[in-house]
A and B are shown apart, each in its own frame.
Chain A
Amino acid sequence: MNATTAKIAARTLRLGFEYMKLNLRSISRQPAAVFFVVLFPILFLIIFSSLLTFELPFPEGAAGNVPVVTFSQYFVAGIIGSAIFGTSFNLLGNSLAIQQYDGTLKQLAATPLPRTSFFIGQVGTAMTYTLLQLVVMMILGIAAYGVELPDGQGWLTLIWIVLLGVPAGCVMGIAITAIIPSANAAPAIIQVPYILFQFISGVFFTLASLPTWLQWIAGLFPLRWIAQGLRSVFLPDVYKYAEPGEDWQLGLAAIVLVVWIILGFAAARFTFQWDRSG
């Protein structure tokens, strides 16, 4: 990397960071948005946990002393995954579509803000909100649902799942705006895959209880891998025998997320439109 390239890269990063700060400030002054981001997954957690109180089936293939895991514990991992993916894919996709159609981004496009900085700022925004959600839900999970703080290995996994999961969801959120024909259509078009992903990715139901072909479809998208990685963080290790392949499949999860980030970023850079207002 020569000096000019390094300078451009530094500027791109710095402006991405500045845009993130601006974006966070803007969102933080819109109470409805904050409510949606932080409280929605928590409400979900509380409602579903009180509805579904069964214990997870004994993991076949496990030996020795197997601790009991309630659905609530299982669901804490799932709903955190869901929140990570929701903040990046769902929330970002919606907010971008609205801003593409109302002219907010058109105005931004008149400035020399690099497109990559804009993406970096959006990912940073989603990352910040994810951290906020994570803290709140972990506290709630520990206090109310018998979830334990991760161990050393668990923290490491949690960190890379967030660091890869958020950008993967963001580039999907940016890319999906390409097929949204109007601001009004955005929630519907984004919500449908988001809900479907949650059903087939082991958030509401255990992954192994799904037919294999659905597991395969889910395996093509990030949420399945994010949720599985989080279960490795929050569930006792022997429950890996309850997963397909009787393993947490962390290596595969990392590969799928990285591929999504690379392909999604390319697609987003190529298809993203600042202005669809006219």
Chain B
Amino acid sequence: MEPAIRIRGVRKRYGSVTAVNGIDLEIEAGQVYALLGPNGAGKTTLLEILEGYRVRDDGEVSVLGMDPGRERGELNRRVGIVLQRSTPMEGLTPREMLNFTAKLYEHPMHPSEALDLVGLSEHADRVGGKLSGGQKRRLDLAISVIGNPDLIFLDEPTTGFDATARRQAWEVVRGLTERGTTVILTTHYLDEAEHLAQRIGMIKDGQIVFEGDVEGLRRQLESETRISWRPPAGFDPSSLPAEWADQRTGADGRLSLPTQHPTRDAGRLIDWAREHGIDELNGLQVERPDLEELYLELVGDGSEAATVDGAAR
């Protein structure tokens, strides 16, 4: 099947800053795809190139078989967009906005169906300025889906939400995928990508640093599993076998050893402890870092913090 999106060698510079630095990507139709990365990684720039808001400097882009640079008008009929910042027209209610928006499409859903889908029916007749941040976001979603699009772009759909509002928003996105809509979202929440997306593309400094599913990400970072314990005062780390020279000591004094073979290496550590007359490895743990920590490892900058955090847990 033709992919919903095909990107080849896309670049975008702003003055001396390279926001997108040669990205290749294919996204299958019917998937939820998460572009994951820290702020300033180039997610929004890439998304806005796909949406047709920004002009790429170089490379090829095909969205639903069209070039968003040249065929934006046609593309707008089949694509829904939730922007990073929500700015509905002043003084209007969600129902009024949706009644208008529905008229722009050939085969729209009924406004009340869109309201139901995003869970905004109760507030459908409240003037926009009086909606909460989460309700405004739902209105954005409703506007983006009312034309029954084949593809939806969501730029940080839940940034600034509390935990409950985020879970509700995830439910809405899942509802969309049940309709067969392709969803491409950007997020810097790892758990969001994990909960929603079949595939993840991680972006750092304008480049894809990982592409695959969540399990693939775990496998890629398996080596980052750690065995850790709290050594007694005055313990000399250099007395450990040479193969564990890569240990680190966390802020709370825990010593952690990276391993690709957690079970085997835990056994070896215990053998080593017996041989050295250590009866108890205090607080011994084998941790497979959660995705959040993996993510920080992957994008580099956060690795120190991740070690400390992980150790403290």
Given A15-B103, A107-B83, A112-B77: A30 and B53 interface contact (C-beta under 8 Å): no
Do B83 and A110 touch across chains, with their CB atoms under 8 A apart? Answer: yes
B124–chain A nearest beta-carbon distance, Å: 15
User: For residue A106, which residue of chain B has the nearest CB?
Assistant: B83
B90 at interface by CB-CB < 8 Å:
yes
Query: Which stretch of A18-26, A55-63, A165-173 is in the interface?
Result: A18-26
Do B91 and A28 touch across chains, with their CB atoms under 8 A apart? Answer: yes
How many angstroms from the CA of A110 to the CA of B97 in the assembled complex? 14
B73 at interface by CB-CB < 8 Å:
yes
How many angstroms from the CA of A102 to the CA of B105 in the assembled complex? 25
Do B90 and A18 touch across chains, with their CB atoms under 8 A apart? Answer: no
Do A277 and B85 touch across chains, with their CB atoms under 8 A apart? Answer: yes
Do A106 and B100 touch across chains, with their CB atoms under 8 A apart? Answer: no
How many angstroms from the CA of A114 to the CA of B87 in the assembled complex? 20
B10–chain A nearest beta-carbon distance, Å: 17
B144 at interface by CB-CB < 8 Å:
yes
B88–chain A nearest beta-carbon distance, Å: 7
Residues 99 to 122 of chain A near chain B (Cβ within 8 Å): 102-104, 106-107, 109-114
A27 at interface by CB-CB < 8 Å:
yes
A246 at interface by CB-CB < 8 Å:
no
Do B88 and A107 touch across chains, with their CB atoms under 8 A apart? Answer: yes
Given A19-B100, A110-B51, A275-B53: A25 and B91 interface contact (C-beta under 8 Å): yes
Do A106 and B53 touch across chains, with their CB atoms under 8 A apart? Answer: yes
Given A110-B81, A112-B104: A102 and B87 interface contact (C-beta under 8 Å): yes
B-chain residues with CB within 8 Å of residue A23 when the two chains form the complex: 89
Do B87 and A22 touch across chains, with their CB atoms under 8 A apart? Answer: no
Determine chain A's interface SS by DSSP, over half rule: helix
A-chain residues with CB within 8 Å of residue B88 when the two chains form the complex: 104, 107
Residues 230 to 278 of chain A near chain B (Cβ within 8 Å): 275, 277-278
Do A112 and B73 touch across chains, with their CB atoms under 8 A apart? Answer: yes
Residues 66 to 119 of chain B near chain A (Cβ within 8 Å): 73, 76-77, 79-81, 83, 85-92, 96-97, 100-101, 103-105
How many angstroms from the CA of A106 to the CA of B82 in the assembled complex? 10
How many angstroms from the CA of A228 to the CA of B143 in the assembled complex? 46
B209 at interface by CB-CB < 8 Å:
no
Given A15-B104, A18-B103, A22-B96: A104 and B89 interface contact (C-beta under 8 Å): yes
B305 at interface by CB-CB < 8 Å:
no
B-chain residues with CB within 8 Å of residue A29 when the two chains form the complex: 90-92, 127
How many angstroms from the CA of A40 to the CA of B144 in the assembled complex? 38
How many angstroms from the CA of A111 to the CA of B108 in the assembled complex? 12
Given A29-B127, A275-B53: A107 and B90 interface contact (C-beta under 8 Å): no
Do A112 and B105 touch across chains, with their CB atoms under 8 A apart? Answer: yes
Residue among A15, A109, A112, A277 with max Cβ neighbours from chain B (10 Å)? A112
Do B91 and A103 touch across chains, with their CB atoms under 8 A apart? Answer: no
A-chain residues with CB within 8 Å of residue B147 when the two chains form the complex: 111-112
How many angstroms from the CA of A21 to the CA of B51 in the assembled complex? 28
How many angstroms from the CA of A103 to the CA of B100 in the assembled complex? 18
Given A15-B104, A106-B83, A111-B76: A26 and B91 interface contact (C-beta under 8 Å): yes
A-chain residues with CB within 8 Å of residue B96 when the two chains form the complex: 22, 25
Do B76 and A112 touch across chains, with their CB atoms under 8 A apart? Answer: yes
Do B87 and A111 touch across chains, with their CB atoms under 8 A apart? Answer: no
B52–chain A nearest beta-carbon distance, Å: 8
How many angstroms from the CA of A104 to the CA of B83 in the assembled complex? 10
B-chain residues with CB within 8 Å of residue A103 when the two chains form the complex: 83, 85, 87
A136–chain B nearest beta-carbon distance, Å: 22
User: For residue B81, which residue of chain A has the nearest CB?
Assistant: A110
How many angstroms from the CA of A102 to the CA of B86 in the assembled complex? 9
Do A26 and B92 touch across chains, with their CB atoms under 8 A apart? Answer: yes
Residues 63 to 108 of chain A near chain B (Cβ within 8 Å): 102-104, 106-107
Binary A-proximity of B129-152 (CB < 8 A = 1, otherwise 0): 000000000001001100100000
Do A22 and B92 touch across chains, with their CB atoms under 8 A apart? Answer: yes
B-chain residues with CB within 8 Å of residue A113 when the two chains form the complex: 104
Given A15-B104, A110-B144, A112-B105: A25 and B92 interface contact (C-beta under 8 Å): yes
User: For residue A110, which residue of chain B has the nearest CB?
Assistant: B81
Do A110 and B76 touch across chains, with their CB atoms under 8 A apart? Answer: yes
| 17 sample A-B contacts, Cβ–Cβ < 8 Å, listed by A number | A15-B103, A19-B100, A22-B97, A26-B89, A29-B90, A29-B127, A102-B87, A104-B87, A104-B89, A106-B53, A107-B81, A107-B86, A109-B76, A110-B83, A111-B101, A275-B53, A278-B53
Q: A23-B89, A112-B77 are in contact. List 16 more A-B contacts (CB 8 A).
A: A15-B104, A22-B92, A26-B91, A26-B92, A29-B91, A30-B91, A103-B83, A106-B53, A107-B87, A107-B88, A110-B76, A110-B80, A110-B144, A111-B76, A114-B73, A275-B53
Closest 9 CB pairs of A and B: A29-B91, A110-B81, A103-B87, A26-B91, A112-B76, A104-B87, A112-B77, A22-B100, A26-B89
A contact residues vs B (CB 8 Å cutoff)? 15, 18-19, 21-23, 25-30, 102-104, 106-107, 109-114, 275, 277-278
